[in-house]
Amino acid sequence: MPVKIQNISILNKFTNSLKYFSKMFKCFHLKVLSARNTSSSRRCLSVFSQLLMQSSEIELVEKNSKQIEESLIKSLNSTTKKSLLEPLSDSEDISHISTYLKPTYPNFAAYANNSEVLQELIKLDVNLHYIEKKLTEAVPFILKLNFEDIKDHILFLNQLGMKFEDIGQLITKNPFIFKEKLEDLDVRINYLKFKKFDEIMILRIISKNPFWLSYSTQDIDKKLGFFQMNFKLAGHEVRLVATKKPQLITHEQEKVKLNMFVIRDEMGFTIEDMKEMILKTPKLFMSGQQRMLKCFEYLHNEMGISHLQILEEPQILTCRENRLKARHQFLKKLGRDQFDNKKPNFVNLLEMVKNTDGIFAVQVAKSSAEEFNLFLKSM
């Protein structure tokens, strides 16, 4: 119980006692810490606390301080070291402490035989295992659905021209499409039509980017505007980029800006160059910055490839540096590292890196797969 202070006199005594208590505690604190096991320290501190709480008057702290200290030291000296094999006392029991358990979700297997929704999704080749592993929060959502909740969504997508297997892939990646109202989905499709996307473009967009229809028309309009403004694109060029790489439009804009910075400020390309790049290879602006920069440095500094040559084949910047280096070094060993298209024995940059080792060795290096494998082992 806390000490109840009734008047100023007792308050002054309490303050003086606390000052003495602080000095006394510092004196024996080192003795407590020097104990050979933590159990002794805890027992000593426990005795000290009990003695303080038993004092009915504040004055006892000052008068009997010597007795308190002697009791503490006696308790410390009389404490014997416990064996590690001894069971813990009630005060030392830690069985109530448990590790943090992640929330668990039901699995589809237990419901597959009785769930009409799961049976219909299986018919569409929806990868339920993928959803269980990668999209765990979608599992209870799907199990709560009935067939009427999903039937109209499937028909809506099918009427847009999507094949049922493509609908299954869309649901696998974005099962939360069933959260969207059909009226909203219809508005989002009409928005694309209003922006002069034809049916083939729309079909490709929603097939390649399962999350596109989960964005509102306002969000999509802002995202398309971002690319039009930053890359100086005309309307038909925006449609070209969105159709070529629909995932880029909904990609994190901060990452796109970072790639723009790397290409412009660290590689030395211009805004006009970046416009040409995004029209030819839009996925370049979704690539990892370090991988892209290392590839450029090897192309430009080691192989002597100019900015103009890279602009002709910007996809080369998506190649791994190790792959590029190995194949270039092999061509160099054979004396076939010639990348000027105005000279004989010209080697196309993309042809050098895009095919398998066997095709590269025979068709590009004019050698054999065995010789290239031996070269790789020697690197």
What is residue 379's predicted lDDT score, i.e. its pLDDT?
Answer: 87
Of 177, 102, 185, which Cα lies nearest the Cα of 138?
177
- Please say whether the beta carbons of 271 and 230 come within 8 A: no
Which range of residues forms the domain containing residue 27? 8-78
Of 141, 164, 139, which Cα lies nearest the Cα of 153?
164
What is residue 86's predicted lDDT score, i.e. its pLDDT?
Answer: 58
What is residue 107's predicted lDDT score, i.e. its pLDDT?
Answer: 83
State how many domains the chain has: 2
Tell me whether residue 161 is in a domain: no
What is residue 6's predicted lDDT score, i.e. its pLDDT?
Answer: 47
**For residues 305 and 347, what is the distance between their CA atoms, to the nearest angstrom?**
12
**For residues 302 and 365, what is the distance between their CA atoms, to the nearest angstrom?**
19
Chosen domain end from 56, 78, 100? 78
**For residues 30 and 24, what is the distance between their CA atoms, to the nearest angstrom?**
11
Chosen domain end from 41, 62, 78? 78
What is residue 106's predicted lDDT score, i.e. its pLDDT?
Answer: 73
Tell me whether residue 103 is in a domain: no
Chosen domain end from 43, 78, 113? 78
Tell me whether residue 28 is in a domain: yes
Tell me whether residue 204 is in a domain: no
What is residue 15's predicted lDDT score, i.e. its pLDDT?
Answer: 53
Tell me whether residue 54 is in a domain: yes
What is residue 99's predicted lDDT score, i.e. its pLDDT?
Answer: 54
Tell me whether residue 358 is in a domain: yes
What is residue 61's predicted lDDT score, i.e. its pLDDT?
Answer: 45
pLDDT, one tens digit for every residue, the chain (379 residues): 444 444 445 545 545 555 555 555 544 444 444 444 455 445 544 544 554 454 444 444 445 555 655 665 565 555 555 554 555 555 555 555 555 445 556 789 889 899 999 999 999 999 999 999 999 999 999 999 999 999 999 999 999 999 999 999 999 999 999 999 999 999 999 999 999 999 999 999 999 999 999 999 999 999 999 999 999 999 999 999 999 999 999 999 999 999 999 999 999 999 999 999 999 999 999 999 999 999 999 999 999 999 999 999 999 999 999 999 999 999 999 999 999 999 999 999 999 999 999 999 999 999 999 999 999 999 8
**For residues 161 and 359, what is the distance between their CA atoms, to the nearest angstrom?**
37
Tell me whether residue 367 is in a domain: yes
DSSP state for residue 6 in the 8-state scheme = -
Tell me whether residue 20 is in a domain: yes
